């Protein structure tokens, strides 16, 4: 004897071109079987036989239009509808791709996924729902059982059996459809208030169901069962408690089990959900449909902003929140910035301590440098002239000039980029070059030294502002000095 289906009859052996292998489950819309194509090529499918009392007219044109819309849904996360037909007994059935997966909440818990990969799966689910809404189809039966996650971690959205046909009214995906009375068999746990009250359905109904699914997947909080068809008269009532608050109200064992399934602790889990995720879920679960996200894309974008570390739009972000999220997005830069900031603080502490002393030392150094320049001027000028004509004056002059060169070179090495001091150094090199060229007799060493002095003067002047009158005056005298040095070199070569 074959197992009985939900209609009290035996499980069929075949349906259309498919051989029935085994039942997969019974839902509010009908019984689902695993089928296999008998001809042409091997193909496994899920076949749902719709309850006859829901669709007594197998030739109902509305079902044909629905099937046409559903077959147009082409998305990696949406299970394709392959066919919509009638059995020999006159029962409507739908043929869909078979998905070998686990319901979304069970998959996340069995794999002990942390919050971030759970959010990514929810992002993919929202994208699939938005795809259906853009094709004028409301799912109207969103619950964990209808979202299966495959082994590769990708969710697959299935069972559009109670989808509302919006195109029949020529409306957009956010317009309202004709009222739909939910079947008694429908699971009301994840239904929106307007669905329970048999009111007109909009895409906001799916948003509410997505909020309940997100609450379950993220915080492990299941929705409470409510009677089907209950009329909610208090749409202005305060919003439902946030997921983190509901989580804290659970007993310790339940909190521990939920946190373990997310590889964290109860306190850390509640802290991670508190804030952005709380605000997103609470907005999706507003009693008034107009206060929810207007599209699944808006809900998806908010989840992605949180995932990427950007401020969400659902709640205002103060400066501290924006800074914290910037640090989250730029961890390496923030870490390097902290190290740099500490180094700067330590440096500032040392600089502040030494600033007064440094200023005093700088003034002393500048005064000392000018004194040394004047001393060199005297050494290579007045003393140089005073030994002229004396016996052994050539050696004395050479010694004085050599000492002057050593002094000026040392001052040039200690140059602290003071403009006036650089100008004085350039002037001193010019004086030394002219003194070398005035030596009698003029030696090869003197000519070579004068060329070096001219080169050093030129190097200093190149680093200074040519518009300065004193600098311009020295630059103007350089060609004549270079010419004298070159002429002396040529004369010596003869």
Backbone φ/ψ region at 57: left (φ over 0), alpha (ψ -120 to 50), beta = beta
Listed residue (170, 166, 108) closest to 135, CA to CA: 166
Query: Where is 256: in which H helix or E strand?
Result: helix 252-260
**Any catalytic annotation for residue 141?**
yes
> 160-198 b/e with 16+ CB inside 10 Å = b?
bbbbbbbeeeeeebeebbeebebeeebebebbbbbbbbe
According to DSSP, residue 2 is labeled: P
Q: How many other CB atoms are there within 10 angstroms of residue 75's CB atom?
A: 18
Contact 33, 46 (CB under 8 A): yes
Listed residue (199, 198, 194, 223) closest to 211, CA to CA: 223
90 vs 93: CA distance, rounded Å: 10
Residue with tokens 């379950």: 216
According to DSSP, residue 463 is labeled: T
Listed residue (147, 76, 142, 139) closest to 108, CA to CA: 147
421 vs 376: CA distance, rounded Å: 14
Q: Which two tokens stand for residue 50?
A: 């719709």
Catalytic residue among 5, 105, 124, 141: 141
430 vs 476: CA distance, rounded Å: 12
333 vs 124: CA distance, rounded Å: 30
User: What positions carry a catalytic annotation?
Assistant: 141
């Amino acid at each position: 004897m074959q197992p009985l289906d939900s209609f009290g009859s035996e499980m069929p052996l075949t349906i259309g071109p498919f051989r029935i292998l085994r039942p997969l489950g019974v839902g509010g819309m009908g019984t689902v079987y695993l089928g296999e194509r008998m001809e042409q090529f091997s193909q496994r499918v899920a076949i749902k036989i719709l309850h006859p009392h829901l669709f007594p007219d197998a030739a109902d044109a509305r079902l044909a239009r629905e099937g046409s819309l559903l077959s147009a849904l082409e998305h990696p996360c949406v299970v394709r509808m392959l066919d919509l037909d009638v059995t020999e007994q006159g029962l409507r059935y739908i043929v869909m791709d078979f998905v070998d997966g686990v319901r979304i909440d069970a998959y996340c818990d069995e794999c002990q996924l942390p919050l971030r990969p759970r959010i990514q799966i929810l992002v993919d689910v929202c994208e699939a729902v938005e795809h259906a809404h853009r094709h004028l189809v409301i799912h109207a039966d969103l619950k964990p059982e209808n979202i299966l996650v495959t082994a590769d971690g990708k969710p697959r959205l299935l069972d559009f059996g109670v989808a509302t046909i919006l195109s029949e009214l020529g409306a957009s995906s956010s317009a309202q459809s004709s009222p739909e009375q939910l079947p008694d068999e429908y699971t009301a746990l994840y239904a929106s208030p307007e669905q329970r009250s048999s009111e007109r359905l909009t895409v906001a109904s799916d948003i509410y169901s997505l909020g309940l699914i997100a609450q379950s997947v993220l915080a492990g909080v299941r929705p409470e069962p409510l009677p089907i068809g209950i009329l909610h008269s208090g749409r202005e009532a305060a919003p439902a408690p946030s997921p983190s608050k509901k989580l804290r109200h659970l007993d310790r064992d339940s909190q521990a089990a939920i946190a373990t399934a997310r590889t964290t602790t109860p306190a850390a889990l509640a802290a991670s959900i508190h804030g952005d995720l709380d605000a997103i879920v609470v907005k999706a679960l507003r009693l008034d449909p107009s206060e929810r996200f207007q599209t699944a894309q808006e809900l998806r974008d908010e989840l992605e902003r949180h995932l990427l570390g950007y401020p969400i739009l659902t709640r205002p972000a103060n400066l501290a929140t924006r800074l914290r999220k910037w640090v989250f997005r730029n961890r390496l830069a923030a870490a390097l910035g902290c190290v740099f900031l500490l180094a700067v603080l330590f440096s500032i502490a040392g600089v502040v301590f030494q600033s007064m002393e440094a200023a005093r030392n700088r003034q002393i150094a500048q005064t000392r440098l000018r004194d040394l320049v004047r001393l060199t001027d005297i050494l290579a000028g007045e003393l140089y002239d005073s030994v002229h004509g004396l016996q052994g004056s050539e050696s004395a002059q050479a010694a004085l000039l050599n000492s002057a060169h050593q002094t000026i070179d040392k001052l040039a090495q200690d140059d602290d980029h003071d403009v006036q001091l650089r100008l004085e150094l350039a002037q001193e090199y010019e004086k030394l070059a002219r003194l070398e060229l005035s030596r009698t007799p003029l030696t090869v060493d003197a000519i070579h030294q004068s060329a070096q002095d001219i080169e050093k003067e030129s190097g200093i002047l190149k680093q200074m502002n040519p518009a300065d009158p004193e600098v311009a005056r020295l630059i103007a005298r350089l060609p004549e000095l270079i010419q004298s040095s070159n002429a002396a070199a040529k004369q010596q070569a003869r």
